[in-house]
Structure 1
Amino acid sequence: MPASYSDLNKPVHFKLTLATLGKIVCSLPIFATFFCVIWSVIFDFKSSTETHCGVPNFLPSISAAIGGFTPQRYVWRVCIALHCGPRFMVAIAYYSYHTSIHVGLRNQLYKTLAALCTFLHICENMALIGLTYVSSSENHDLHEKFFILFMLCSLIYMLLTTYVFSWGRSANGRSISHTEMKSLRHKATLFLFNISVFMFAVYLFFRHNAYCEPGAYSWFALCEYLIVLSNVCFHSTMILDFNTYSVAMVDMEPSTAHTTYLTV
């Protein structure tokens, strides 16, 4: 289990519950998405909704909304930059969270899968940074590759995390708590919703390119919004998983040094 700063008998300079941190981190991409889309519809409607087909659309894609215009580009980049840093910490914290439970004979496999979850979480975060700072208007091919990497890592991460969470929380006849069951249900539901919407978005994308139907690309864009929202909601289950944990900065030796502890 993580160390407790209360046992160190040291002054606490900063303390923040992980539930509060999770709310802040998850609110940033949601705010940025809605701001960029709404601003684009109000002030850059024609430019943000036009495609190579030349047919009318009523919503911009996320790529167009976040990378093609200002101030949308700056709002998105600032929000993603602020939210990505803590997510690296959360990715590492989840490995400790999963492996704090011993599942028996297959514990090594369990720990390997938990490590893979952490790796996928970090890769998803890195891909998000990549597609944020390389816009589709600047380098479409690279932006597209970052998006594909983001979706692959995201979907595999959600599936694997749901499995590892279920395995660990119910291992060795352990009674799963109400909060853990709630988190597991949310994870499973959000994963199924996310992959279903993603598959429908792929269908709409190819249909748009094949038939150039009016509005088809806008329905694809709407699916993109739902993918982002469900992805953020999946990550927000950390609020349930770490509801008893806090991040604190305390004085250590020498007196000028500080150490951050993740504590229960």
Structure 2
Amino acid sequence: MQNIQNSTAVTSSSSGGTRTGCGAVLSSASDSSGAIPEAKSRKISDGGGGIGSVICSGSGGSSGDSCSLHDPSTAATKDAQPQQQQQQQPMAIHYLASFHEICIVTALLPLVTLFTCFVTAYVYQYDDVHETHCRVYNIIPSISAITGVSPQRYFWRFSIALHIGPRIPIAFVYKNYYRSQLKRISPELVPQASWLISLILVLNCIEIAALGGVTYISNRENYPVHERIFITFMICSLCYMLATIKLNGILNAGQSLNVQQQQSIKWKKFFFVASILSTIGLLIFFAKHRFYCHDLAFSWFAFFEYLIAIANMLYHFTIIWDFPSQYMVIVQGPLENISQYLSNRPKID
């Protein structure tokens, strides 16, 4: 049997200079059947005490074996480089807007538009907006009347389109906002609060959809459908207000609230009570107008309708106290970093 001895010098570099480690002596041979022995590896120690391995492969009759040094720390560093480079990529912000200002514009837009439609229709189209099926004396036109004539209908529809757009993401922001407060309450109240959060989101979305329905399906075009959508809007709006007040009572029980939070809860309750009282008055005078055609009954109906609309708008305006210093951001960056941030949010099953 022919013995082959190879001496391999192993070197490693560091910040302090070049160090030379000990040589490794390997012996390889082929048996009588001519089989080629497998590659072998030996752990070695460099001069600095580091541990590596020399991997050698050889064949019988060859002049020498081929050996290479395998350093685990070097391999791990190379594997980690792409991940580190990805994490070091800068994050770019393409859009940054004050959520507070967006909410103010969203809440005030239909209120300003409603006032504009009322004044212009009352001054320039008096006979058109005061026409009713009873043909009795009337001084206050309904919301459907002033937003159903031209050109006010186009202005109102355009305004509601701009209003509905931001309200959809605001509904989901409220959901996450309420869920982030679940950690403050006792565990036995979490299921009830979580159910209310889901209910509030559904009612809010139905209310938004119903608002679009009564806007784009006027009473002049299809009165039965318009009436049913308006009833849906009223029911979902009142239930949404009540569920929100109930949820705030659960989340804030025993908590010290700042001035803004106290203002938000106080005005939410006030506008909810105003909506309930206005709804009762609206139903009473609607019956008087619809079945008895009393004078001014439709005017009182329209008056309470305006109160309900204004109370609903101002109820949603309380968002300025719930989100006083938040921002809406569109950001570009590594998905892993964004996913890691989102995974840190409180989650309740």
* Same fold (TM > 0.5): yes
| CA distance in structure 1 between the partners assigned to 2:313 and 2:99 by the alignment | 16
Q: CA deviation at 1:60?
A: 0.9
Q: Is the 8 A contact 2:91 2:334 kept in 1?
A: no
Q: Is the 8 A contact 2:238 2:276 kept in 1?
A: yes
Residue 225 of structure 2 corresponds to residue 142 of structure 1 = yes
Q: Is the 8 A contact 1:25 1:83 kept in 2?
A: yes
Match 2:289 to one of 208, 211, 223? 208
Q: Is the 8 A contact 1:121 1:153 kept in 2?
A: yes
Match 1:250 to one of 317, 328, 331? 331
What residue ranges of structure 2 are gaps of 5+ in the alignment? 1-88, 336-341, 343-349
Q: Is the 8 A contact 1:50 1:56 kept in 2?
A: no
1:72-98 CA-to-partner distances (Å, cap 9, x unmatched) read 100110000001011011111111111
| CA distance in structure 1 between the partners assigned to 2:326 and 2:249 by the alignment | 20
| CA distance in structure 1 between the partners assigned to 2:324 and 2:90 by the alignment | 23
| CA distance in structure 2 between the partners assigned to 1:18 and 1:169 by the alignment | 23
Which residue matches 1:49?
A: 130
Q: CA deviation at 1:9?
A: 5.4
Which residue matches 2:20?
A: none
| CA distance in structure 2 between the partners assigned to 1:9 and 1:94 by the alignment | 30
Q: Is the 8 A contact 1:187 1:234 kept in 2?
A: yes
| CA distance in structure 1 between the partners assigned to 2:278 and 2:90 by the alignment | 51
| CA distance in structure 2 between the partners assigned to 1:35 and 1:214 by the alignment | 27
Which residue matches 1:126?
A: 209
Q: Which moved more, 1:73-82 or 1:28-37?
A: 28-37
Q: Is the 8 A contact 2:147 2:156 kept in 1?
A: yes
Tell me the secondary structure at the aligned position of residue 248 of structure 1: strand
1:1-264 superposed matches below 5 A:
10-67=91-148, 69-102=149-182, 103-104=185-186, 105-170=188-253, 173-253=254-334
Tell me the secondary structure at the aligned position of residue 150 of structure 2: coil
Q: Which has the higher contact order (CA 8 A, sep 6+)?
A: 1
Q: TM-score w.r.t. structure 1 length?
A: 0.89
| CA distance in structure 1 between the partners assigned to 2:223 and 2:157 by the alignment | 17
| CA distance in structure 2 between the partners assigned to 1:195 and 1:16 by the alignment | 35
1:13-61 CA-to-partner distances (Å, cap 9, x unmatched) read 2222221111100111101211221121111111211111111211111
Q: Is the 8 A contact 1:197 1:227 kept in 2?
A: yes
| CA distance in structure 2 between the partners assigned to 1:235 and 1:253 by the alignment | 36
- CA 1:232–1:9: 2 relative to 1, 3 Å: farther
AA matched with 1:79? S
Q: Is the 8 A contact 1:180 1:240 kept in 2?
A: yes
**Number of aligned pairs?**
245
| CA distance in structure 1 between the partners assigned to 2:249 and 2:97 by the alignment | 27
CA-based RMSD of the aligned residues comes to 1.6
| CA distance in structure 2 between the partners assigned to 1:15 and 1:183 by the alignment | 25
Q: CA deviation at 1:253?
A: 4.7
Q: TM-score w.r.t. structure 2 length?
A: 0.68
Larger radius of gyration: 2
Q: CA deviation at 1:128?
A: 0.4
